[in-house]
Amino acid sequence: MNLKEILNWRYTTKEYDATKKISDADMAEIKNLLRMSPSSVNLQPWHFIVAETTEGKARVAKGTQGFFSFNEPKVTNASAVVLFCVKTDADDAYYQHIADTEDKDGRFPNDDVKNGFLGAVKTFAGIHKYDLKDLQHWMEKQVYLNIGSFLLGVASLGIDATPMEGIEVKALDEEFGLREKGYTSLVAVSLGYHAESDFNSTEKTPKSRLAESEIFTLI
């Protein structure tokens, strides 16, 4: 499929075929999509819990109880579920870790370039931490960038997906001990193949978007 076809094909899946599983090769591609996503100053303020087993999906499904119970089948019947988590803080030690990792990967020809990069990271993070006082929100934005590229990427593999903000964050944070590790859960994305009975499938329901004339200003 070309890009237009992929965009027209993908949609938010409402019902999964529990008998269909994502191949190991595609799961490797999916993990690479998560890892290679862009982020501001390469901050990578994320962690991913990838549930493929029945037991793992049941643990994620603990975040779909009560009010969000309508999302439970989308977790348990999917082939896999990714829980996107965001850092709750970032400090000089983490910025140094990012710079050291880039250095190890060969991105810096000398220490001056490395120190310049590290200074830029601290500057931009400092603006959000001290001036704008929105460091947490800024890091969440980076995770949402990842989710956006992730949804397009899995669609290019012919895999259906369902992003879900309808989760009990506190329950999932407790289930996986996230806050003690410096993270909190943000969004869950189910992956797999839609059931024939899925009413929201693009095979049954055409996609709808605002007209180009309404959303574009061409200058």
Q: What pLDDT, in 10s, does the model give residues 48-64?
A: 999 999 999 999 999 99
Mean per-residue pLDDT over the chain, rounded: 97
Q: DSSP secondary structure string, 164-184?
A: E--S-HHHHHHHTTTGGGTEE
Among 51, 59, 90, which residue's Cα sits nearest to residue 190? Answer: 51
Give first-to-last CA distance, the chain, whole Å.
Answer: 31
Q: Which of 14, 57, 87, 122 is catalytic?
A: 14
Judge whether 189 and 164 are in contact, CB under 8 Å.
yes
pLDDT tens readout for residues 149-169: 999 999 999 999 999 999 999
- Would residue 14 show up in a list of annotated catalytic residues for this protein? yes
- B/e letters for 204-216, b = 16+ CB within 10 Å, e = fewer, are eeeeeeeeeeeee
- What pLDDT score was predicted for residue 1? 76
Q: Which of 5, 31, 133, 165 is catalytic?
A: 165
- Would residue 165 show up in a list of annotated catalytic residues for this protein? yes
Q: Which of 15, 57, 74, 140 is catalytic?
A: 74
pLDDT tens readout for residues 135-153: 999 999 999 999 999 999 9
- Would residue 212 show up in a list of annotated catalytic residues for this protein? no
Record the pTM.
Answer: 0.96
